[in-house]
Amino acid sequence: MDVIRHDLVIVGGGGAGLRAAIAAAEKDPKASIALVSKVYPMRSHTVSAEGGAAAVARDDDSLEMHGFDTVKGSDFLGDQDVIQYFVAEAPKELTLLEHWGCPWSRNEDGSVATRAFGGMTTKRTWYAADKVGFHMLHTLFQQSLRYSNIVRYDEQFVTKLVVDGGAVHGVAALDVREGVVRLILGRAVILATGGGGKIFPFTTNGNIKTADGMALAYREGVALKDMEFTQYHPTGLPGTGILITEAARGEGGHLKNSEGERFLTTRDYGVGQKAELGPRDMVSRAIIQEIEAGRGIKGPYGEYVNLDLTHLGEDVIMKRLPMVRELSMLYGGADPIHQPIPVRPVLHYMMGGVDVNIDGATSLPGLYAAGEVACVSLNGANRLGSNSLTECLVFGARTGLAALQYAKGASGANDAACLRQAEEEAARVAGLRGKRGGERIAQLRRELGATMERGCGVYRDQAAMDETVHTTAQLRGRYGDLGLVDKSTVFNTELIAALELGNMIAVAEAIAVSAAHRNESRGAHARRDAMKRDDANFLYHTLAYAGYAGPRLDKKAVTLGVWVPEERKY
């Protein structure tokens, strides 16, 4: 087996992974950094983010305001030390990206323009039209090409963390092109693989978002934190789930029901004056309630509401929302200059993830995580739009430096023990290729999606969540009887899909069990049978550990601070 050696191994080449790699490469030009990704970095799902990245930029804004908006948006489940660090670093990181060439949209005087976003008090979302994730990702990727000490392993799928003597020493990675598993040794490993939206059937997420990094850490005994908090974005295109950015509302778009009524202004959904710019959890719930009240619009893919931009005019739409227009026309059958866009809430983001501290360190020495895969507790129970791109930068950079520092002091691996593990992993992967069995990937994926949508959707209740807990556990069992037909070693995407499905089932179970346990409503976890937040009993983070019989739960204190939990009303 090929054995490759680096100081730092970063798994994932999206916003957080690239930022971590650049931070470490810049800090120590002699450190060798492996960037291992199952796709070419520019295909990473950061590319699909649209609306913007938040950081205080204007005179009428302050770090205090950004911090409070974030903690309130989180329904007070965000850790306040993390939030304070985040808002302070955010302007620096976005400025750095500007220095690297990100084509931020500009004001007439040449300064960087900012726009309004949901749950944010003032305009603090930096944007590059409505292709912000795309531009950020390509800027970071192209910038990374400057560093000869960043060594890329493109289209290499990490299937296992190599753990020996209580610490991580590298990864086993399947070369998708060649079909072989290699051992990539590193003194520290950073997971930056993104979330797992594909666990759900109706999602904005691309095909690659399969919770891989969460599953890798979970299998090694690391906790997944706050997994019950899964974010529904209010505005996805029916059918495909393609995202119509919140920037459409930030620029002044209106949500309307079948009667043409701006229901967020005429009815009490808790968003107050913010109306369409309420936080995502509340706006998504409002849309579901409108549909349930019979004021949805019937379409071929279920009922929806209208996102009306027609009053913004062609100029604003073409300049600031060109991608919204392109997507609406291509996938929604509507030109927003002339017609409303059909939209409905769509699974978008996971607030939960691998439990890490402010340095991105997990409980397993040598293992770090940043970006959506991680739960550093910036977002708590509900993330504010445009905080996550900035999160990738702020915590990508900090985690890159922290992991590098750890790597310098880490003792070397027991190579023989690591090799043995990688060889066992290679045998497991080879055994899966063309394996006989009675279950089919597409069928299990469909059933997984259906049960997650039923039990862990916008609104939840005990009975539905319990059923999803039961069904995900059954799916874990049935996965063992998976049958595959492709025996080829070369670019075997069926094998990759099978491995991804295993990851998704494991993480889905953690989501369902965590959700079924939290007997209150907070942020994105909205229960019909427990409508109120319950700080006395549930102001804590949920930890889910992998167990033989299913996830085992524990709790962790929320770091409070200057902001005292209060009723969340806008």
Q: Which residues 36-55 are close enough to bind another protein by CB under 8 A?
A: 39-40, 42-45, 47-48
Please identify, among the stretches 421-429, 480-488, 529-537, 546-554, the one whose residues bind another protein according to the rule CB under 8 A: 480-488
* DSSP annotation of 294: I
Q: What is the closest distance, in whole angstroms, from the C-beta atom of residue 33 to another protein in the complex?
A: 16
In the complex, least distance from residue 43 CB atom to another protein, rounded to whole angstroms = 5
Contact code string over 223-262 relative to another protein, x by CB under 8 A: ----------------xx-xx-------------------
Residue 494 contacts another protein per CB under 8 A:
yes
CA distance 344 to 284: 8
Q: What does the chain come to in residues?
A: 570
SS3 87: helix
Tell me whether residue 223 or residue 321 sits nearer to another protein (CB atom): 321
Burial classification of residue 195, based on how many CB atoms lie within 10 Å of its CB (0-12 exposed, 13-18 middle, 19 or more buried): buried
Residue 159 found at the interface with another protein (CB under 8 A) = no
Stretch that binds another protein, among 306-314, 365-373, 408-416, 489-497 (CB under 8 A): 489-497
84: left (phi over 0), alpha (psi -120 to 50) or beta: alpha
> Could you tell me the CA-to-CA distances from 13 to 16, 36, 117, 372 in Å, in that order?
7, 7, 27, 13
Q: Which residue has the tokens 């922290």?
A: 402
- For residue 175, state whether it binds another protein (rule: CB under 8 A): no
**Binder to another protein among 2, 64, 165, 177 (CB under 8 A)?**
177
> 339 to 358, contacts with another protein by CB under 8 A?
none
Q: Rounded to the nearest whole angstrom, what is the least distance from the CB of residue 286 to another protein in the complex? A: 25
Q: Is residue 149 near another protein by the rule CB under 8 A?
A: no
Q: Are 39 and 220 in contact (CB under 8 A)?
A: no
Among 259, 314, 326, 554, binds another protein (CB under 8 A): 326
| Identity of the residue, 21 or 323, whose beta carbon is nearer to another protein in the bound complex | 323
What is the C-alpha separation between 373 and 202, in angstroms, rounded?
20
**Angle between helices 387-409 and 80-99 in degrees, nearest 10:** 100
Residue 249: active-site member: yes
Question: Is 490 near another protein (CB under 8 A)?
Answer: yes
Torsion sign over Cα 269, 274, 275, 280: negative
The single residue of 124, 233, 527, 541 carrying the catalytic annotation is 233
- Binding range to another protein, per CB under 8 A, among 245-253, 327-335, 340-348, 518-526: 327-335
Among candidates 514, 245, 202, which has minimal Cα distance to 388? 245
Closest CA to 399 of 357, 456, 451: 357
| Residue with smaller CB distance to another protein, 164 or 175 | 175
Structure tokens at 409: 């002091």
Q: How far apart are the first and last CA of the chain?
A: 58
- Number of other CB atoms surrounding residue 113 within 10 Å: 17
Which of 3, 293, 318, 330 contacts another protein by CB under 8 A?
330
> To the nearest whole angstrom, how small is the minimum distance from the Cβ of residue 330 to another protein?
6
Kindly tell me which of 118 and 332 has the beta carbon lying closer to another protein.
332
Contacts of 153 (CB under 8 A, 6+ apart): 34, 35, 36, 37, 173, 184
Active site residue 454: no
CA angle 539, 542, 545 (to 5 degrees): 160
Q: Is 123 in the site for another protein (CB under 8 A)?
A: no
Q: Show the site string, 496-535: x = touches another protein by CB under 8 A, - = not.
A: ----------------------------------------
CB 374 within 8 A of CB 176: no
Contact call for residue 436 and another protein (CB under 8 A): no
Count the residues of the shown chain that bind another protein, applying the rule CB under 8 A. 61
Among the residue ranges 109-117, 253-261, 340-348, 408-416, the one whose residues contact another protein (CB under 8 A): 109-117
In the complex with another protein, the residue whose CB is nearer, 141 or 406, is 141
Angstrom distance (rounded) from CA 41 to CA 15: 9
- Asked if 206 touches another protein (CB under 8 A), the answer is yes
d(CA 204, CA 18): 22
Q: How far is the CB of 19 from another protein (least distance, A)?
A: 15
CB of 362 to another protein, least distance (A): 27
Q: What are the DSSP calls for 204-230, one per residue? A: S--TT-S-HHHHHHHHTTPPEESTT-E
Separation of alpha carbons 100 and 146, rounded Å: 11
Which is catalytic among the residues 45, 124, 249, 320? 249
Interface contacts to another protein, rule CB under 8 A: 39-40, 42-45, 47-48, 92, 95-96, 98-101, 103-112, 131, 134-135, 138, 142-143, 145-146, 154, 177, 206-208, 239-240, 242-243, 300, 323, 326-327, 330-331, 333, 441-442, 484-486, 488-494
Catalytic sites, residue numbers: 233, 249
